[in-house]
Structure 1
Amino acid sequence: MAVIEESEMQTDVNELIESLTELLEDGDRNVRMNIVRRLDEISGVKTVPPLIKLLGDPYENIRQRAVEALVRIGEPTIGPLIRVLGDVGVRQVAARALGEIGEPAIEPLIEALDGDDREEYVKTVACALGWIGGERVIEPLMKVLGDTNWEVQNDAAEAFIDIGEPAVEPLINVLENGDAYMFQGAAWALEMIGDERAVPSLIKALEDEDEGVRYAAASALGGTIDDRAINPLIKALEDEDEGVRQVAARALGGTIDERAIEHLIKALGDECDAVHWNATCALGGSGDELAIEHLIKALGVGEGGCVGRLPPYSARFLVNQQLSL
């Protein structure tokens, strides 16, 4: 008798889930919120498909409640969530759910990386792994970091930023032993993490034969504001590649260091307007009185001068010195 009652109860639950699923198209968000709450109360594998559908709801509160319900169900949701990571309507929220499920999702996500090379799919898997974090996800993310598609690489770098300190040494190893594609992503990730252990390797990379590597190194050093980087960045102001010179000038703008002033003033005469512009920005924020005269002269350098495009803080600096533009 008890078995029959249990069977009848299960039938009732299944019918209820089907009825709730049919109501998901209701235009009233209050109705859909009540549905997601009821599905959360019922829980279980049968509720996974409608809950995943609710991940694409236009209202954040409903999406978040669906994520919470899926996380509470746990491991049975991992496979279905991974299968929708290529669905533009739900992939980011599905990745968030996998990130909150955590460690049990790592191996299935790694397998997913090996089984599908679609750009958006790989990017979303990388995001999920980054949210989970830990040393186990570093190796598979390194493969994504080496992707020649910069958007894919960028998502891998963001994943390493989410991981933080455990990723620092592996990323430094990439700076020293990886290819140019991987270097750029690793350099940006290390800049965002902000660990000074990366500085020596980034300085060394300013001498690399690849201009993309030199550019990425100079940009990353600009984010460190480390005293060891000043002289190497000054030297980079004379790099043969104008992109490297430009980013070196911008990087030096992040510090108020007297060693850089003379060289930034020299950079005001660079034939590349972008270099001249970034040197102007750097000097404008330096607060150095020696920069005033040279900044005024710089207003006429480059195509059309830069009267109309002087950075606000450069303009303020000159105005504060009671100089008329």
Structure 2
Amino acid sequence: MALKSSGIFCGRAGIIIILIILIAALASPATGQGAGKASTDELIKKLSNKDAKTRWESAWALGKIGDERAIDPLIKALEDSNRNVREWAALALVKIGRPSIGPLTAAMQGGNDSVRWQAAAVLGLINDSNSTEALSSALKSNNSTVRYWAAAALGQIREKATQDALIAALADENETVRNEAGWSLKYLGGEGLLIRLLKDDDPKRRMGAAHSLGDPAFEQAALPLIEALNDSDPGVRAEAAAALGRRGENRFIQPLIGVLADPEEQVKKQAIAALALIGKPAIEPLTLALQNSDNATRAGAAAALGMIGEEKSVGQLIPAFKSGDHAIRQASTGALARINGSMAVPSLIEVLQDQSLPEDLRADAAWALGEMGDARAKEPLVYAMSYDKDNGVRMSAAKAMKKVMKAIFDE
């Protein structure tokens, strides 16, 4: 289930935004209790007003008054159809503070899903250890958005007693919940705990730990992440590769190149993306891998060079196309198209026209010219459609011709 973004606290950045709002909003003085009791009933009634602006202004006014009679109506306002009303009701509950904890806890356990996850988010912003037991229980909710915000809230409160519940959440079926649990564990157990979790029996927990250790601030995590590239679970290997890419250090280049031959596609894709993140320092090692490695590694190296996007790689990708297997030719074509396909067109036309070359190579050259969509390929493809001695080449040229003509007409 995708995380809902229905107006309040949308992601980790949303917490930062809300905290900024709170700093400004909470700085305003609360209305005295005497005046508050006189106006609370009227403001509660206005929470049902047809005008949304009246509703959200009333919600915030109730928060400033701080009368506990407003708590349940404000929790009810978390169901409002208007985003501003929901957000100001939430902020009002934070403003009221500790007296809101009990009712919010009850709402988190028994309300509808929208109220439950907003209640969890508000409890995190109130930041009181009295809510940690309920939030830990919410990590077992059947709704992924509730679990996500429970994990986020526990990361705000940072009580050691919640560590085990968050470790269990690292194995959550939902990736965003796992990632948020990992973020929260950073503040509770730190680097050492996450490194130890790379050896946990549950592969999902290992995945969550690997994801969290992608933070460059964790200086001791580099070698454990490199070791995790050999984990028995492909999901862990993929997360380790992605984490190394986010850290972006040159010393990770060779271990990541080694993963390009992984039998699992998700691992290869993450390794390619990680090498692309490291960028220019990876070009020379990838060029060597393109020339001297096994076919799977060569194909991955070609793809990574394409994602890095330096034109100087074109001179290495064309020979790789000519000398590699079908997978290498496909990867090289994709890379050439991404970098600058026009530079490769003359060489591909030469391959297409050389009848001494293998049929599958000529057919792939025709396909590649179709991918480039360059008008210069039109006549060579027409000729190959009519006169090449191999039926497979003729068919490939015909398909490529359709793509070239479409590209010409689309210009």
TM-score by length of 1: 0.75
Specify the alignment match of 1:261 in structure 2.
287
Asked whether the 8 Å contact 2:299–2:331 carries over to 1, the reply is no
Specify the alignment match of 1:4 in structure 2.
none
Asked whether the 8 Å contact 1:205–1:214 carries over to 2, the reply is yes
Percent identical among aligned pairs is 27
Hey, which bits of structure 1, 4+ residues long, moved more than 6 A? none
Please give the per-residue CA displacement for 1:8-49, whole angstroms capped at 9, x wherever unaligned.
Answer: x99x949x6555444433221222133214422432321101
Task: Tell me the secondary structure at the aligned position of residue 84 of structure 1.
Answer: helix
For residues 64 and 232 of structure 1, do their structure 2 counterparts lie closer, same or farther at Cα, with a shift above 3 Å needed? Answer: same
Asked whether the 8 Å contact 1:268–1:280 carries over to 2, the reply is no
Per-residue deviation at 1:243? 3.0
Distance in 2 separating the partners of 1:58 and 1:279 = 51
User: Within the alignment, does 1:191 sit opposite 2:217 as a pair?
Assistant: no
From 215, 238, 242, the counterpart of 1:219? 242
User: Within the alignment, does 1:126 sit opposite 2:151 as a pair?
Assistant: yes
Specify the alignment match of 2:120 in structure 1.
95
Specify the alignment match of 1:49 in structure 2.
72
Distance in 2 separating the partners of 1:112 and 1:169 = 25
Distance in 2 separating the partners of 1:45 and 1:316 = 67
Asked whether the 8 Å contact 2:138–2:150 carries over to 1, the reply is yes
For residues 303 and 270 of structure 1, do their structure 2 counterparts lie closer, same or farther at Cα, with a shift above 3 Å needed? Answer: closer
* Structure number, greater radius of gyration: 2
Distance in 2 separating the partners of 1:305 and 1:236 = 19
Please show how residues 237-252 of structure 1 align to structure 2 within 5 Å: 237-252=260-275
Runs of at least 5 residues in structure 2 that lack an aligned partner in the other structure: 1-32, 349-371, 375-411
Specify the alignment match of 1:141 in structure 2.
166
Aligned length: 305
Matched letter for residue 208 of structure 2: G
For residues 141 and 311 of structure 1, do their structure 2 counterparts lie closer, same or farther at Cα, with a shift above 3 Å needed? Answer: farther
Per-residue deviation at 1:208? 2.3
Please show how residues 45-84 of structure 1 align to structure 2 within 5 Å: 45-84=68-107
Task: Tell me the secondary structure at the aligned position of residue 253 of structure 1.
Answer: helix
For residues 175 and 106 of structure 1, do their structure 2 counterparts lie closer, same or farther at Cα, with a shift above 3 Å needed? Answer: farther
Specify the alignment match of 2:9 in structure 1.
none
Q: Identify which of structures 1 and 2 has the higher relative contact order when contacts are C-alpha pairs closer than 8 Å and 6+ apart.
A: 1
Asked whether the 8 Å contact 1:250–1:282 carries over to 2, the reply is no
Distance in 1 separating the partners of 2:51 and 2:160 = 44
Please give the per-residue CA displacement for 1:161-180, whole angstroms capped at 9, x wherever unaligned.
Answer: 25645532211110123421
Matched letter for residue 262 of structure 1: L
Distance in 1 separating the partners of 2:329 and 2:262 = 25
Asked whether the 8 Å contact 1:103–1:132 carries over to 2, the reply is yes
Bigger mean CA deviation after superposition, 69-78 or 18-27: 18-27
Per-residue deviation at 1:238? 2.1
RMSD: 3.9
Please give the per-residue CA displacement for 1:142-172, whole angstroms capped at 9, x wherever unaligned.
Answer: 111123x1x1x53142243256455322111
